Amino acid sequence: MKILMSLVIILSLASFDNQIVRDMDLDFDIEKFLSLEGYDNDIRKSRRKNSEVNSQEFFTPYSIVKKMADKVPDEEWSDPEKTFLEPAAGNGQFVCYIIYKRIISGISPEISFKTCYATELMEDNVIEMKERCIDLLKKMNVDFNESEIRSIMDKNFVQADFFNWDYNNWKPLKKALF
């Protein structure tokens, strides 16, 4: 009886996984999505040049993102209990890849975002990262509730200085280090 129950659970989980992947746009190309084409434009360059903050901004190209992220074993991507953190997220190169890998591993968009955390110093990057994530879900053609995903992102993707962020309690440090 126990074996039968486990089989039913495994089969229903498997069909849930397939449903997410089945609905996906098969032509979706993550490499193209993360190509960063057009990101290093004049507006961004002049904004950075005139900013008081030298944030050492350089976004990681797709090939490196993939090489690094793919070192995480497959069973971790498909484990809904696992959490992912990007402490200096930029415009979301790693975050978008994490969300992509979680979804193609059968994790729902909602859980993928609930288990992904990011801090980033520059407000414009945080805004851009969130918009890129919504664009990613639309281009992947997965079923999602946009207002729910946006509200999860507002909690989990924050504009913060990582030196002054309390990662254990997900809030600013009581006493700033700097």
Ligand X SMILES: C[S@@+](CC[C@H](N)C(=O)[O-])C[C@H]1O[C@@H](n2cnc3c(N)ncnc32)[C@H](O)[C@@H]1O
The yes or no reply on residue 125 touching ligand X (CB under 6 A) is yes
Nearest to ligand X by Cβ — which residue? Answer: 90
Site track for ligand X across 60-89, x = CB under 6 A: x---------------------------xx
- Residue spans of alpha helices (H) in 72-122: 74-77, 93-104, 109-114
Cβ proximity to ligand X: between 78 and 164 the closer is 164
Both tokens of residue 61? 């190209």
Query: What is the spatial distance between Cα 68 and Cα 72, in angstroms, rounded to a whole number?
Result: 8
The yes or no reply on residue 55 touching ligand X (CB under 6 A) is yes
Which strand (E) or helix (H) includes residue 124?
Answer: helix 123-140
Q: Work out the angle at residue 33's Cα, subtended by the Cα atoms of residues 43 and 72, and round it to the nearest 5 degrees.
A: 115
Count of residues of this chain found to bind ligand X when the rule CB under 6 A is applied: 19
The yes or no reply on residue 121 touching ligand X (CB under 6 A) is yes
Which of 17, 124, 131, 161 is the binder for ligand X (CB under 6 A)?
161
Query: What is the spatial distance between Cα 77 and Cα 72, in angstroms, rounded to a whole number?
Result: 7
Length of the chain: 178
Cβ proximity to ligand X: between 20 and 94 the closer is 94
Which positions touch ligand X (CB under 6 A)?
55-60, 88-90, 93-94, 119-122, 125, 161-163
